[in-house]
């Protein structure tokens, strides 16, 4: 594991890609899962201890906000040839309430500028980036409870109709395992 920080500044709009959605075992367009209210795109993987640390909260968070018409999409961009736990077959073993995509070419991670897992991007319904960074301040080593505070705050403000100024709160975790 190489501890890696997310980028401090990212200015992008939401973009469609077609990827393997592992639960359906079909190539699907990301845009089919975008929401008119907000879309959360998460770069995660199976093997990272930082992702494992927040998995229960990821499920709770999605279950809290999906009924409010906010969509969640998880993307694994790791090179599974060197990290078998991150293969599509192993991705299917997780019981997520949201689609889990495999970014085999790593094109999606490169477009979004994702550098680590976990790393979150929240887009408004119009496709404008509202938030980029961490779930909350909890990490496996710091004994801070996992609450999803930073992501929850942005999503609650979107639901309240509060105009969101793009915010970045740097995340850190395992580096994305790039193909050589």
Domain positions in the chain: 3-10+18-175
Angle between helices 49-65 and 149-159 (to 10 degrees): 20
Average pLDDT over residues 61-87: 97
Judged against a pLDDT cut of 60, whether residue 1 lies above it is answered with no
Task: Please tell me the distance from the alpha carbon of residue 168 to that of residue 6, in angstroms, as a whole number.
Answer: 10
Tens digits of per-residue pLDDT, 119-149? 999 999 999 999 999 999 999 999 999 999 9
Judged against a pLDDT cut of 60, whether residue 28 lies above it is answered with yes
Tell me the pLDDT band of 155, cut-offs 50, 70 and 90.
Answer: very high
CATH of domain 3-10+18-175: 3.40.30.10
Query: Alpha carbon 87 to chain centroid distance?
Result: 17
Beta strands across the sheet bearing 172-175: 3-5, 172-175, 116-117
Task: Please tell me the distance from the alpha carbon of residue 151 to that of residue 135, in angstroms, as a whole number.
Answer: 5
Report the pLDDT value the prediction gives residue 2, as an integer from 0 to 100. 64
Task: Please tell me the distance from the alpha carbon of residue 99 to that of residue 62, in angstroms, as a whole number.
Answer: 11
């Amino acid at each position: 594991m190489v501890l890696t920080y997310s980028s401090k500044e990212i200015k992008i709009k939401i973009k469609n890609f077609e990827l393997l959605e592992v639960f359906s075992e079909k190539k699907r367009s990301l845009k089919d899962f975008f929401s008119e209210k907000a879309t959360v795109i998460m770069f995660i993987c199976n093997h990272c201890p930082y992702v494992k640390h927040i998995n229960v909260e990821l499920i709770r968070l999605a279950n809290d906000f999906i009924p409010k018409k906010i969509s969640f999409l998880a993307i694994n961009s790791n090179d599974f040839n060197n990290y078998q736990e991150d293969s599509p077959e192993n991705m299917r073993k997780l019981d997520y309430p949201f689609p889990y995509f495999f970014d085999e070419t790593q094109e999606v991670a490169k477009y979004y500028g994702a550098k680590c897992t976990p790393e979150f991007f929240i887009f408004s319904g119009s496709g404008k980036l509202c938030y980029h960074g961490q779930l909350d301040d909890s990490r496996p080593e710091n004994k801070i409870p996992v609450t999803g505070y930073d992501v929850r705050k942005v999503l609650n403000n979107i639901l309240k109709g509060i105009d969101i100024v793009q915010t970045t709160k740097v995340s850190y975790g395992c580096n994305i395992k790039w193909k050589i």
